[in-house]
């Protein structure tokens, strides 16, 4: 059973370009989460999606960032008009959605995409 | 609101000696608590999790953690460090039933031969 897949692993963009980060969840997982890790910091939650729905985007910057998880294909985190401050590692996690009420699903993380903005 | 404090940003131990990585949390009555490990340039791997069952949780690679509600702590321990344990360790909390995780700032473990 393949783990969470993310691509590309490394992405270099110039200021003002767009960055697209892809995440394929583990087989059988229908819940996807995106986190951002700035240098020397822990991960910060960005967004939680299920198929075709954004459930919680409380951690997403209000501008330039968007996420989707279509019915078919990977989840995409899109950053428009990147700036140097967007340079970070972006991690995707997935979970099966089996924890039930009042329980937190265990999240399994991908290897991350390291975005560098020149 | 939930939060996590990892008391040591860097811990250094000799190979074969015990490991203690400290974590204190602030959360609701029934938090879920996790420890993840991150090796250089790799993703995060789940070591163990606590979800209101036994307070002493055993994880992979010989690690374990004890949930102490009175001290709001969830320290990670291992009896004998191995060179392959050198990595960054994150203590993580989630509110009861919530789906976003709150990460501590991490503790870098160095193992000296």
Note the pLDDT of residue A100.
59
Average pLDDT over residues A20-30: 94
Neighbours of A53 (CB within 10 A): 9
Q: Which of A59, A107, A111 sits opposite B42 (nearest CB)?
A: A111
Residue B88, both tokens? 């960054």
* CA–CA gap between residue A92 and residue B43 (Å, rounded): 9
Q: Specify which residues B34 forms β-bridges with.
A: B49, B92
Note the pLDDT of residue A93.
95
A68 touches chain B (CB under 8 A): no
Note the pLDDT of residue A99.
60
Q: What is the pLDDT of residues B5-34, one digit of tens each?
A: 999 999 999 999 999 999 999 876 678 899
Neighbours of B49 (CB within 10 A): 19
Average pLDDT over residues A47-53: 92
Minimal Cα distance from B107: which residue of A? A42
Interface contacts (A, B; CB < 8 Å): 67
Q: How many residues does chain B have?
A: 113
């Amino acid at each position: 059973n393949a783990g969470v897949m993310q691509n590309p692993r490394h992405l270099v963009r110039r200021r003002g370009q767009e960055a697209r980060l892809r995440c394929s969840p583990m087989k059988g997982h229908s819940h996807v989460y995106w986190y951002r890790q700035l240098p020397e910091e822990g991960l910060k939650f960005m967004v939680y999606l299920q198929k075709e729905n954004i459930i919680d985007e409380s951690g997403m910057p209000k501008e330039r960032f968007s996420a989707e998880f279509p019915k078919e294909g990977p989840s995409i985190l899109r950053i428009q008009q990147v700036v140097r401050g967007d340079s970070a590692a972006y991690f995707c996690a997935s979970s099966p959605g089996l924890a039930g009420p009042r329980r937190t699903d265990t999240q399994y993380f991908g290897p991350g995409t390291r975005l560098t903005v020149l | 609101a939930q939060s996590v404090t990892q008391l040591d940003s860097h811990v250094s131990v000799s190979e074969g000696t015990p490991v203690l990585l400290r974590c204190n949390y602030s959360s609701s009555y029934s938090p879920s608590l996790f420890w993840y490990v991150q090796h250089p340039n790799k993703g995060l791997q789940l070591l163990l999790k606590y979800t209101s069952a036994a307070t002493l949780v055993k994880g992979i690679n010989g690690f374990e953690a004890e949930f102490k509600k009175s001290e709001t702590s969830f320290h990670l321990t291992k009896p004998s460090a191995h060179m392959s344990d050198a990595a960054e360790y994150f203590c993580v909390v989630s509110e009861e039933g919530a789906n976003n995780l709150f990460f501590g700032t991490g503790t870098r473990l160095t193992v000296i031969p």
